[in-house]
Amino acid sequence: MSKKVVQALYNDDDVLLSAVKKVREANLKIEEVYTPFPVHGLDKAMGLKPTRIAIASFIYGCIGLVVATLMMKYIMIDDWPRNIGGKPNFTYITNLPAFIPIMFELTVFFAAHLMVISFYMRSRLYPYKQAENPDPRTTDDHFLMEVQSDGDASQLAKLLQETGAVEVKIADKKAIQI
């Protein structure tokens, strides 16, 4: 028997939030929630773990700073320690002020771009990827909660109907879930 999920559509974010809380209280597993805009407090209500993407970004920024420092230290001090306009290129520290703008820019560059790439990879977003929202209305004004059904799907559908859903559907569980 293929696994079933019950999809409940809501047309209000406050109703959705209370429904999420009710479903969690009933110890049912929320498979996924699709919303057209960020509903604040939804991740908390669903019990999602906080994202670590900001930590990743900090690490990427540190990498950028190291790359900039090593690059300019090698080029300006070690490889060709030239006298350009009387600038003291003996050690990195003596000419440090002139290196700060690029150290800063590369820190931001690495932190921003690698974080965005990480986000795209973790959330599996890329050109030509097929959209996976089960109902096109979820990018307009509807909110969809998918609840996994272990036993009687129609019983679950009834429960979800009571949480204020405007529409409840029973569907086959998709093969790929992230």
Partner 1 sequence: MASHYEAPIRNPLIVGDKTYHDVTVDVARPVEGKANRLWWIVFSVALAAFLWGLGCIVYTVSTGIGVWGLNKTVGWAWDITNFVWWVGIGHAGTLISAVLLLFRQKWRMAINRSAEAMTIFSVVQAGLFPIIHMGRPWLAYWTVPIPNQFGSLWVNFNSPLLWDVFAISTYLSVSLVFWWTGLLPDFAMLRDRAVKPFQKKIYSLVSFGWSGRAKDWQRFEEVSLVLAGLATPLVLSVHTIVSFDFATSVIPGWHTTIFPPYFVAGAIFSGFSMVNTLLIIMRKVSNLENYITLQHIELMNLVVMITGSIVGCAYITELFVAWYSGVEYEQYAFLNRATGPYWWAYWMMMTCNVFSPQFMWFKKLRRSILFSFCISIVVNIGMWFERFVIIVTSLHRDYLPSSWTMFSPTLIDIGIYTGTIGFFFVLFLLYSRTFPVIAQAEVKSILKSSGEKYKKLRDTNPNNSH
Q: Name the site residues for partner 1 (rule: CB under 8 A).
A: 11, 13-14, 17, 32-43, 46, 48, 50-51, 53-54, 57, 71-72, 75-76, 79-80, 82, 84-85, 87, 95, 98-99, 101-102, 104-106, 108-109, 111-113, 115-116, 119-120, 122-133, 136-141, 178
Radius of gyration of the chain (CA): 26
Closest approach, Cβ 76 to partner 1, in A, equals 5
The C-alpha atoms of residue 97 and residue 69 are separated, in whole angstroms, by: 12
Closest approach, Cβ 11 to partner 1, in A, equals 8
Beta carbon nearer to partner 1, 28 or 71: 71
**Strand pairing report for 4-10 and 30-34:** unpaired
- Angle between helical axes of 53-72 and 96-122 (0-180°, round to 10): 140
Closest approach, Cβ 117 to partner 1, in A, equals 9
Let me know: does 176 contact 151? Beta carbons within 8 Å: no
Alpha carbon 130 to chain centroid, angstroms: 18
Let me know: does 7 contact 169? Beta carbons within 8 Å: yes
Closest approach, Cβ 92 to partner 1, in A, equals 11
Beta carbon nearer to partner 1, 131 or 175: 131
